[in-house]
Every structure is written in structure tokens, then in C-alpha cells.
Amino acid sequence: MVSNVKLLITNHFSLHSISNYSLPEIYRNGNLSMFEVDGFEERIYCQNLCYIAKLFLDHKTLYFDVDPFLFYVLCEVDERGFHPVGYYSKEKYSDVGYNLACILTFPCHQRKGYGRFLIDFSYELSKKEEKVGSPEKPMSDLGQQAYKPYWTSTIVDFLLHQSEEKHMSIMDISKQTSIMAEDIIFTLNVSSRIY
């Protein structure tokens, strides 16, 4: 089974290599590169990403209607080209402020910090758009395992660097971190940091 899955992924990415498309590279730092892929313009590529995610995420339901989504594909770059290591998707227009719908780090690239990188990237885009964001709800158990430490460390880091401020509201934290207020309250409650 594992070798079949590996073959499927290898075949997909050899047939649908990032380098075969004229996709906008929106980030590059060292050997990491991020591409923004419009689900409407690159329907087959995005549907195949969703099919691959379905292999590893039990709760994954979207795989056909990719038109209203943007996909952010993270790649390692070397002399042979771009090698996808994971992706996240988000709705192009979210009424409730979701900045991430689905996230997957491919199993052979897990435990390298790419999941956290993708989450952080989604919030950096929210900051650039001058919005607050949140992952799509309800979150899966895996989603909560990824987001709780991210939110906790981001909020604590922000508070530690605000030493001149004696009073800080949840909305102040939200505006500066782009984390939605309800996620900040949830994190503070779970972390027992409210006194």
C-alpha cells in the first residue's frame, strides 16, 4: 500500500510538475519556494492535490469543486527543480475570515517544520491583506494539534515583546498577530494564561 501511494504521488508530480506550469512564485528563501495556484485556472492540478490529501486526511471532503480556492504549494528547490513538500488551500473570498481551509505536509516531509511554516505563511498573507484570519472550523484533531502550539508561541512571543504596554486587549493582540480574537481567547483558556 505504501509503495502504491508513493508511486501515485511520484507519478502525479512528474506529470504535473510545478515547472510545467507558469505559476506565480510568491516566495523564495534559500531552498524553499511557495507558489500560488488558482483552483479555477489550474483545476486538474488542484483536484489532484486534493485527491492526494484525501489519502492522508480522513476528514478531507473537497476534491472536485476547487474553483473558489487558492492553493499555496510549498516546494524544496535544488538543481533538479522544484519538489512539493506540502500545501494549504483557502477560499478566495471568505465571509467569516478563514485564511486556511486544508493543510497537508506530505508524510515523507513531516517533522521538518513545514506544517508550521504553512500556518505561519497563511497568517503572514492575512497581515499583508490587513485582515485577521482563522482556519476553517470545525478543526480536526490534527488541526488542533498543529494550531494550539502555533497560537500559543505566537501570542506569548508577541506579549513578551510588548514590554512598554501595561494593558493589552484581545483586539490589540488580534490586530498585531492577525489571529482571530476567538482563537486567542481559546488559546489563553487552554493554556491557563488568564488569571
Q: Global pTM?
A: 0.86
Domain 138-195, CATH number (from 1.10.3470, 1.10.10, 2.60.120, 3.30.429): 1.10.10
- What is the phi-psi region of residue 36: left when phi exceeds 0, alpha when psi lies from -120 to 50, beta otherwise? beta
Count of beta carbons in the 10 Å neighbourhood of residue 78: 9
Can you name the residues that pair with 15 across neighbouring β-strands? none
Cell numbers at 25, concatenated: 512564485
* Closest by Cα among 153, 162, 161 to 184: 153
Domain ranges of the chain: 2-136, 138-195
Residue 61 has a pLDDT of 65
Residue 102 has a pLDDT of 92
- Active-site choice (136, 164, 165, 182): 136
- 2-136: CATH number: 3.40.630.30
Cell numbers at 35, concatenated: 507558489
Per residue in 34-89, pLDDT tens? 999 999 999 999 999 998 988 888 776 666 789 999 999 999 999 999 999 999 99
Residue 182 bears catalytic tag: no
